[in-house]
Structures are given as structure tokens and as C-alpha cells.
Structure 1
Amino acid sequence: MGRKPRIQFEGGVYHIVQRGNNKEYIFKNDDVKKQLLNIIVESKEIMRFEIYGFVIMDNHYHIVIRSHEVPISQIMHRIDLKFSKYYNCTYNKSGHVFQDRYKGILVKDDKYLLSLIRYVHQNPVKAKMCKKVSDYYWSSDSYYRKNIQDKIVDIDFVLCMFSENRKNALVEYSKFMDSTLLEESAEFEEVSIIGEVKPTSIDIPIIKTERKTLDKILYEVVGDDRIFDEIKRGSRKRELTHYKMLYIEKAIQSNYKMKEIGLNIGISQVAVHKLNNLQ
């Protein structure tokens, strides 16, 4: 029987699980775990996706990822291929490093995202490698608790689900992650689509899913009626470039496509891409 085709679409969020071949402990030391993160960062810069959560265990890893223009299959092919080459070269091995097919599970709705991230962060607790989510170093949990927005984890989208006030969001995030409730693998790993099985969690917070409009994002960036109007009219004045770059950055963080971002201020998708790469 042939394999079921993967469900993929632009802008989709996926729970990725990739295991070592024959459940081997391929992430047996910190250097190997660090190399995987380096490859993810490098791939992110080239393929323009977002990471909302991750954990690297000793024999497998989880990533919560949102793809954009590049399909998830191409993203994972690049990450796993580059890591496999590194691993085989470093340890003088050959052959498969990972199981032949990663598990990629579509998240049906963003309202399931927080429980999914908690499930990912709870992996070391369930494996009895630590007592609390915050005790484990090789996960995205510390990026959220310390309010670190860097090249690996995109924390803004998730924290804004708790509150637009960052201080309050950090408090609510920690409270949610520190719950003694353990998420079930049946809901986040043993399904084809996350959201078809209703989560058993009883403390899922109310999630704010409305996005700011592109015009609101632009005005928050410029804070001036004259500059706002000039950008909206498509002015190419050099003094406006900085504002356009900030607007594009904020709009991408709010999960708008480059085509939408460009249409809103009268520039092409290619121009949006070029301005974004200047940052």
C-alpha cells in the first residue's frame, strides 16, 4: 500500500517529529544538539519559515513550524540532509541517520497551538529527564520565559495569544507551561490533523486569534499621518525606506504574505523580499 500524501499548504502550522534511525541516540551530546539548531537557523534564513517551539531529545526532536512560500517537505529535506551529512562525517558513519520519513502533522486551528507547544516542552518531563519544563535546556521554553526573540524561536505570535501586554503574557505563559497537567500524545502525535480530536486539557486559555490590519501595523510603525499617506501612495523617497522595512518586519511577524504586504503599500512582492533582506 502506498503512503498517504502529506497535507501541505502555504502558511500552515505543523508539528514535526523526526526520530533517529532504529531509535538510535543520535543527539547524544550538546555539540550534536547545537549543530541541529545551527542548521535550522541557517535554513530559516534561506527558506523563510517560523519556529514556534522545539525540543531536542537524545533520539528524536520536535519542531512546531509555520511554512510560507517554501513547502514543509522541502524545508525538512534540507534540515535532515545537512544534519545527516554532518553526523556521518563527524562519527565516521554511513547510511540513514533518521527514520526514512518524518512525521508532519497539520495544526487545524491556531487555538490548539498553545497546548501543542506545551506538549512539545513536556517531552523531557515525561521521559523523567527533569522535573519541570523549565529545567530542560534543549527546548524553546527558555526563549519564552526570558523574552528572547532571536534567529531560532519566533515568540511574539505565541505570547500575543496570552496578552498584548508583554509582561502579562510572560506571566500567563509560565503559568500555562508549569501546569501539572500532562498533554496526551494521542492528541498531538498520533493523529493526522491536530484539532480533529478535542484536547482533554481543562486549562486551555482563551486565545486571541484576530490579527491587526496591515494599515494598523503601518500606522503603529510610522506614527505620523503624512508619512503614512506617502507610503500608501507608493512614494519612493529614500527617507521612507526605514519605515517600510519596519512595517514589512512587523507584518511578516503577524503572518501576512509578502504579496499582501506589498499590495498594501503599492510595491511588488520582489521589492518586499529585497527590503526584508536588508534588515
Structure 2
Amino acid sequence: MPRIARFIRDKQPTIYHIVSRTALQGLPIKDKDNDFLLGLIKKLSAFYFVDVLGFALLGNHFHLVIRIYPESDPTDDEIRERLQKYYGDGLKVTGLLISDYRKRLTDLGAYVKDIKQGFTRYFNKKYGRRGFFWGDRFKSMIVQDGLSLVNLLAYVDLNPIRAGIVKKPEDYRWCSLGYHTQTGNKDGLLSIDFGMKEWNEFDPSEIVRKYRQFVYETGAVDAGKGKVMDKKIVEKARKKGYKVSRAERFRYRCRYFTDSGIIGGKDFVQEVFDQVKHLLKSKDERKFTPVKGVDGVFSMKRLMEVVE
């Protein structure tokens, strides 16, 4: 039986929910692998003309919610800028190249293919294997802005809850609510343009708070599929008005105290790094990351960093 053609709206900005599963058994994608996958998504989403609205990266599949723009939206200058940023200033950008990339950088299939192929190359090299990593072609669903989108995003962010991995979605750093909370939406990866006019809100932090409230209240409802959020956790957050406290934000950054390689004052991190960089096959220069919420403390590693 021939495949049903993928639903595509290519004349206007369109939101898609993308799901792709591995062909391998069990849960082959480990924490470090999801770090790489998230970095790859960040890198390619800055190249393609897409907005990332939400994601959840699990042990055997991923969810991605994006808004992709039509060919008519990007200007020639915008395409030229992205090409030179991605490939280097030495790239000679001709009118024909711009025309070709105008189609590619607004193409849903090309975007997902680059993510999946990039991850397969990484995974096969890391684990010394060959062959396919992903299963059948990815699923995609067109989603309307507003309430439909927010419900979908909540469903995506609640994946680690239903799987019993964590008790709160922001405790899982490979989902969008975790990314908002733990990194403060580092590098502006996530768009919060949900189309929720009913919220009548323009302050980004308040939009995220209201979205967190929506996720918690939705997560407490037993839909008969997987685990639900503990009602005590929901009630506690409800009393706080769904605001994340300073202590909670600090706790989410505690990963720096276990995974940063070197942590301390900037001069100290530089001094130790200079002594050990020959072991890391590192470039001569590196920028160190300030640990937000802890004044004067820096990390050698940019945790959840973009793929280079």
C-alpha cells in the first residue's frame, strides 16, 4: 500500500508536532546522547526558518513542536546571513544558491532529515555500529495556535511524568518546561508565541508561569495512560502561584556541581583548564560559563551546549 502523502501547508506559517522513534530495542538513547540531540536541534533551528515551541527527548523517541515559515517569508539577506553563519564567511553566496536554500530552509522534511541523519552519524560513531537508527518515517501533525497548541505542548512536556522518570516536568532537562526552568531559555531556543490571546499576557516570564500552571493542572488529571502528577506537588505549586522560587532555580543548576569538569572563580577555572586542556584535545581558547544564581562562579563546560 502506498504511503499517504504528508500534510503540508506551504503558503503560510504552520505548526507541526513531529514524532520520531528509534528502530532499536529498549532505551538506547542515554543522557549524553540527548544532550547531543538537543544541541543538534538548537543548531539546525538557528539555520532553518523555524520556531521551536516545545520538545521532549526520551530514551527511544523524541517529540518536537515547531512553527515553520513559507518560502515567501525569508528575505535574500536573511538567507545569505544564515548561510554565512552556518558555513562560514568564505562561502560565496550566489542568487542560485539563495534560491536553492530558500526551498530547503523552509522545508519540513529537510529539517527533520538533517536532525535524524546528524544524530545517526553521531550515535553510530560513538557506539561503533552501522546501519539505520530511526524506525519508520517521522510522524507529523498540523496544529492550530492557541488552546490546541497549549494542550499539545502540555502533552509533550508531561511525557517524562507519564514514563515515571520524574515527578515534575521541570526536573527533566530534555523537555521544554525543564529547559525554560533550568536554563532560563538559554540562547532563546524556545518561542512562547502560543497564540493564547485569552491569557492577555505579554511578559515572557508570566507566560511561562501560566503555561506551567496549565501543565500542572493538566498533569494531575488521570487520562488512563501512564502516571499522573502527584496531587500534593500540584497543590504546593498552586499555593505558590506556580512561580519557581530562587531555591528551586538554584537546585536546578546544581548539575554544574557534578558535571562541569572545573568550577570556581573565573581565574581559577582558567588556571586549571590551562593545566589539563592537553587531556581534553581542546582548542587553545575557551569561554567559561557563569553559573546563574551563584555570583562569581564559573563552569568549564557549557552544559546543554550547542553542537560545534
Q: TM-score, normalised by structure 1?
A: 0.60
Q: Which residue of 2 aligns with 1:19?
A: 21
Q: Which residue of 2 aligns with 1:181?
A: 221
What is the alpha-carbon distance in structure 2 between the residues aligned to residue 158 and residue 184 of structure 1? Answer: 27
Confirm whether residue 41 of structure 1 aligns to residue 77 of structure 2: no
What is the alpha-carbon distance in structure 1 between the residues aligned to residue 124 and residue 223 of structure 2? Answer: 35
Q: Which residue of 2 aligns with 1:99?
A: 135
Q: Which residue of 2 aligns with 1:82?
A: 118
Contact 1:50 1:154 survives alignment (8 Å): yes
Confirm whether residue 9 of structure 1 aligns to residue 25 of structure 2: no
What is the alpha-carbon distance in structure 2 between the residues aligned to residue 6 and residue 92 of structure 1? Answer: 34
Q: Which residue of 2 aligns with 1:164?
A: 202
Tell me the amino acid that sits aligned with residue 3 of structure 1.
R
Contact 1:43 1:79 survives alignment (8 Å): yes
Q: Which residue of 1 aligns with 2:173?
A: 137
Alpha-carbon distance change, 18 to 178 in structure 1, aligned in 2, over 3 angstroms? same
Q: How many residues of Structure 1 are paired with residues of Structure 2 in the alignment? A: 184
Q: CA deviation at 1:142?
A: 2.8
Tell me the amino acid that sits aligned with residue 107 of structure 2.
P
Contact 1:144 1:155 survives alignment (8 Å): no
What is the alpha-carbon distance in structure 2 between the residues aligned to residue 152 and residue 6 of structure 1? Answer: 29
What is the alpha-carbon distance in structure 2 between the residues aligned to residue 170 and residue 66 of structure 1? Answer: 18
Deviates more, 1:79-88 or 1:40-49: 40-49
Q: CA deviation at 1:170?
A: 3.4
Contact 2:176 2:190 survives alignment (8 Å): no
Contact 1:143 1:155 survives alignment (8 Å): no
What is the alpha-carbon distance in structure 1 between the residues aligned to residue 187 and residue 204 of structure 2? Answer: 19
Contact 1:25 1:58 survives alignment (8 Å): yes
Tell me the amino acid that sits aligned with residue 47 of structure 1.
Y
Contact 2:40 2:118 survives alignment (8 Å): yes
Contact 1:119 1:183 survives alignment (8 Å): no
Question: SS at 1:178's partner residue?
Answer: helix
Q: Which residue of 2 aligns with 1:223?
A: none
Alpha-carbon distance change, 49 to 2 in structure 1, aligned in 2, over 3 angstroms? same
Q: CA deviation at 1:20?
A: 0.8
Percent sequence identity is 27
Deviates more, 1:64-73 or 1:106-115: 106-115
Q: Which residue of 2 aligns with 1:31?
A: 32
Alpha-carbon distance change, 159 to 181 in structure 1, aligned in 2, over 3 angstroms? farther
Contact 1:147 1:170 survives alignment (8 Å): no
Tell me the amino acid that sits aligned with residue 32 of structure 2.
D
Higher relative contact order (CA 8 A, sep 6+): 2
Confirm whether residue 72 of structure 1 aligns to residue 72 of structure 2: no
Q: CA deviation at 1:62?
A: 0.5
Structure 1 unaligned spans of 5+: 186-279
Alpha-carbon distance change, 167 to 89 in structure 1, aligned in 2, over 3 angstroms? closer
Q: CA deviation at 1:134?
A: 2.2
Contact 1:19 1:99 survives alignment (8 Å): yes
Q: CA deviation at 1:173?
A: 1.9
Alpha-carbon distance change, 181 to 109 in structure 1, aligned in 2, over 3 angstroms? same
Question: SS at 1:50's partner residue?
Answer: strand
Question: Deviation digits for residues 192-235 of structure 1, max 9, x if unmatched?
Answer: xxxxxxxxxxxxxxxxxxxxxxxxxxxxxxxxxxxxxxxxxxxx
Structure 2 unaligned spans of 5+: 72-105, 226-308
Q: Which residue of 2 aligns with 1:60?
A: 61
What is the alpha-carbon distance in structure 2 between the residues aligned to residue 34 and residue 101 of structure 1? Answer: 23
Question: Deviation digits for residues 234-256 of structure 1, max 9, x if unmatched?
Answer: xxxxxxxxxxxxxxxxxxxxxxx
